[in-house]
């Protein structure tokens, strides 16, 4: 596909969206947003909010980065949790995570900007070599731990629930392709 075709596809899909929604759709969203969830997930193009909500418009405040990390976009996560006051913070990992694979393979030859993000995985993955799925779950547990420490005041006041989840688009856990598996609630294994 060439650039021109991609731009035409973007324009056409936007036109279809505008036709499907109509002007009235945007009336209630013009002055403020009111999401029910802050979602920290991977930038991987196979991981999309439609796995959680069919129509996520104004429901999910989404932060995406490689490895679904809190520290890579800490200000954005704080904005969703503390400013928008979303009652749920979900950290959504996924099967076949390229960031975890890159970390395990060694990333010394990556661009400095990529190294800087992958460095945030060190506390969770700086152990002996494991299989990729174990490492993905280990990183998820670490990100949940970071969130539990950062937002303990809101958790203690029953204003925030930290959800650790895994998006299994490869059906590795045999729950179906595209299954979202809740791994923990406020750090307690589900």
Tell me how many domains the chain contains.
Answer: 2
In whole numbers, what is the pLDDT of the chain averaged over residues?
Answer: 92
SS3 annotation, 56-117: CCCCEEEEEECCCCCHHHHHHHHHHHHHCCCCEEEEEEECCCHHHHHHHHCCCCCCHHHHHH
Q: Indicate if 18 and 37 belong to the same structural domain.
A: no
Q: Indicate if 91 and 2 belong to the same structural domain.
A: no
Q: What Rg, from alpha-carbon coordinates, does the chain have?
A: 18
Domain extent, residue 13, equals: 1-30
Q: Indicate if 4 and 80 belong to the same structural domain.
A: no
Rounded Cα distance between 143 and 69, Å, is 6
Q: Indicate if 84 and 25 belong to the same structural domain.
A: no
pLDDT category, 103, cuts 50, 70, 90? confident
Q: Indicate if 22 and 84 belong to the same structural domain.
A: no
Mean pLDDT on 115-128: 76
Query: Burial, 181: exposed, middle or buried (Cβ in 10 Å; 0-12, 13-18, 19+)?
Result: middle
Q: Indicate if 20 and 48 belong to the same structural domain.
A: no
Strand 188-189 vs strand 179-185: parallel, antiparallel, or unpaired?
Answer: antiparallel
Q: Does 149 score more than 60 pLDDT?
A: yes
pTM beyond 0.95, yes or no: no
pLDDT in tens, 15-62: 999 999 988 988 888 889 999 999 999 999 999 888 999 888 899 999
Q: Indicate if 10 and 50 belong to the same structural domain.
A: no
* The predicted structure's pLDDT at residue 129: 58
Q: Indicate if 45 and 73 belong to the same structural domain.
A: yes
Q: Indicate if 49 and 24 belong to the same structural domain.
A: no
Q: Indicate if 160 and 69 belong to the same structural domain.
A: yes
SS3 content of the chain, % helix, strand, coil (to 5): 45, 20, 35
CATH number at residue 52: 3.40.1050.10
Q: Indicate if 41 and 21 belong to the same structural domain.
A: no
Quote the percentage of the chain above a pLDDT of 70: 96
Quote the percentage of the chain above a pLDDT of 90: 75
Which residue has tokens 């959800």? 163
Rounded Cα distance between 61 and 139, Å, is 21
pLDDT in tens, 68-98: 999 999 999 999 999 999 999 999 999 999 9
Q: Indicate if 128 and 56 belong to the same structural domain.
A: yes
């Amino acid at each position: 596909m060439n650039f021109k075709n991609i731009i035409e596809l973007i324009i056409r899909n936007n036109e279809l969206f505008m036709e499907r929604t109509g002007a009235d759709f945007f009336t209630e969203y013009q002055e403020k947003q009111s999401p029910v969830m802050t979602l920290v997930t991977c930038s991987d193009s196979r991981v999309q909010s439609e796995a959680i909500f069919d129509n996520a418009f104004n429901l999910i405040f989404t932060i995406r980065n490689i490895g679904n990390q809190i520290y890579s976009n800490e200000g954005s996560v704080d904005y969703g949790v503390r400013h928008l006051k979303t009652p749920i913070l979900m950290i959504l990992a996924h099967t076949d995570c390229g960031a975890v694979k890159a970390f395990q393979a060694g990333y010394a030859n990556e661009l400095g900007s990529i190294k800087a993000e992958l460095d945030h995985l060190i506390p969770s993955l700086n152990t002996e070599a494991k299989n990729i799925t174990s490492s993905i779950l280990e990183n998820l547990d670490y990100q949940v731990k970071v969130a539990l420490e950062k937002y303990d005041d809101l958790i203690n006041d029953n204003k925030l629930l930290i959800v650790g989840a895994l998006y299994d688009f490869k059906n590795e856990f045999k729950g179906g392709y595209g299954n979202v598996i809740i791994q923990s609630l406020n750090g307690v294994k589900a």
